[in-house]
Amino acid sequence: MGSKVRARFAPSPTGFLHIGSLRTALYAFALARHEGGDFILRIEDTDQKREVAGSTQAIQDTLKKFNLLWDEIYVQSERHKTGIYEKAAKKLVEEGHAFYCQCKAKNAKEEGFSNVLRDPCRDKKLSSGAIKLKVPENKVLTYYDFVHKKDISWNTDTVYDATLLKSDGFPTYHLAAMVDDLDMKISHILRGHDWLPSTPIHLLVFEYLGGKRPEIGHLTDILSATTGKKLSKRRDSVFAEQFLQEGYLPEALLNFIMLLGWAPKDNRELFTLSEFVEHFDIQGFQEANPRFLQNKLDWFNGEYIRKLSDESLNSKFKIQNEKFAELTEEKQLQITKLVKDRIAKISDLENIAGFFWKPHKVDKAILGGNSDSHLTDALNIISNIDKWELEELNDKLMAKIKEKGYKIGDFFMDLRVALTGSKFTPPINDSIIILGKDKTINRLKSVL
């Protein structure tokens, strides 16, 4: 592979890290690290209006949570102060590849589909104003896309005279990113599919700027499972931090995301970050847009939860659930063990084990027909038990069930519902031991 691989992740600080951006970062990271190359973080903050305070830091914090650590970091607004972008733009004007423009800025979105490709100022020979790209006539522009694994081309007659330097002196993406990619010796540009349509502009800028153009690849869009449209901040939950808060583990989210847009030849699904880096293959990029299916994410998360040690699961519960954290260490660990196989997310703890700390509510309608005798016998045994131990409890309860000829399942179900208010809980006898004698007796009495 000739020169060193250098891949960059270049977010704009306009908010929290999006799930799609996280995936882009992950792929750029793996692309670089697989070859022993560099992963570069570049903050693209050339639009002061859109910048959201604190998001530069927030993006870095989130990246760290996923262990996507960068080797170098650059901030475009800082680089802008050196005049690097302005210099590049002026060079293009001097060489006849760009021109000054003093038209009023416009927003095509607000104006509908304007098909004005050629700017009225391009031949006015102005000497100040914004700087725009002078797109040549009837020229075919081609590049090989390493994600799509094919050549993609445009005729310049469909490319508009894009703005490179705004009238406030700041560069647009079209200039800043290309100048930086060249200057930072980026070997691979990996970016979202939304950039594909403006690639001919970048091809031209690269050509005029000179130097070695990086390889370019456009990732698929992640589609919403419900709408079939690209995930959007307005409609879908898309922020990485949001998922973390809901109780998804970073490793699980990352594992899920990595398979939306990339797949290995052997169809393996479980990858830690370092395994992914090791097995990463640029040929594995997907061309079709995947859908974000939550139940697959849940499956991954369950897998990762089960791989956690009891202790580390326990500490995650403590961070996530205040009431749980107030329990004794011993009880916490006991509950953690019982719950581990039964949850998909950290936040599921409240649903499955909340009865341990919540005042319990029992809907008597879900109790069985024999519940009165079941519960009375249970209350008797539990009140008179000498050793508060699981084995003792099991034996005594089973002996009574045998003696009275109860149906085992019905008996325990009534006990379960009476104590927890739910039909779905961890093993009930284990739960009773954790709950404690007094609470158990009180709950039984209140139902009877």
Q: Which of residues 86-145 bind RNA (CB under 7 A)?
A: 101-109, 111, 113-115, 129-130
In the numeric block, the tokens 């995936």 are attached to 23
In the numeric block, the tokens 């961890």 are attached to 426
What one-letter code names the amino acid at 156? T
Across 27-129, the runs of DSSP E, i.e. the strands, are: 38-43, 72-75, 98-101
Distance, in Å, from the CA atom of 10 to the CA atom of 28, rounded to the nearest integer, reads: 10
Residue 151 counted as an annotated binding residue:
no
Cα first-last separation, the chain: 76
217 touches RNA (CB under 7 A): no
Alpha-carbon dihedral sign for residues 223, 227, 232, 237 = negative
414 touches RNA (CB under 7 A): no
Residue closer to RNA (CB basis): 103 or 319 = 103
Q: What's the closest the beta carbon of residue 409 comes to RNA, in angstroms?
A: 4
Residue 101 counted as an annotated binding residue:
yes
What residues numbered 320-339 form the site for RNA, per CB under 7 A? none
Distance, in Å, from the CA atom of 391 to the CA atom of 374, rounded to the nearest integer, reads: 20
Hey, how many other C-beta atoms are within 10 angstroms of the C-beta on 253? 23
Distance, in Å, from the CA atom of 190 to the CA atom of 167, rounded to the nearest integer, reads: 29
Helix, strand, coil percentages, rounded to 5, for the chain: 50, 15, 40
413 touches RNA (CB under 7 A): yes
From candidates 154, 308, 333, 351, binder to RNA by CB under 7 A: 154
Distance, in Å, from the CA atom of 158 to the CA atom of 139, rounded to the nearest integer, reads: 10
**C-alpha of 305 from chain center:** 17
From candidates 9, 143, 426, 433, binder to RNA by CB under 7 A: 426
Q: Using only C-alpha atoms, what is the Rg of the chain?
A: 31
221 touches RNA (CB under 7 A): yes
Residue closer to RNA (CB basis): 50 or 124 = 50
Q: What's the closest the beta carbon of residue 79 comes to RNA, in angstroms?
A: 13
**Part of the chain binding RNA (CB under 7 A), chosen from 63-71, 77-85, 196-204, 381-389:** 196-204
**Part of the chain binding RNA (CB under 7 A), chosen from 61-69, 151-159, 356-364, 438-446:** 151-159
Number of residues that bind RNA (CB under 7 A): 91
From candidates 36, 82, 423, 438, binder to RNA by CB under 7 A: 423
Distance, in Å, from the CA atom of 105 to the CA atom of 258, rounded to the nearest integer, reads: 40
What residues numbered 1-30 form the site for RNA, per CB under 7 A? 10-12, 14
3 state SS of 123: coil
Q: What's the closest the beta carbon of residue 134 comes to RNA, in angstroms?
A: 14
What residues numbered 234-293 form the site for RNA, per CB under 7 A? 259-261, 263, 265, 267, 269, 283-284, 286-291, 293
Residue closer to RNA (CB basis): 36 or 209 = 209
Q: What's the closest the beta carbon of residue 319 comes to RNA, in angstroms?
A: 22
The binding site for Zn(2+) comprises 101, 103, 121, 123
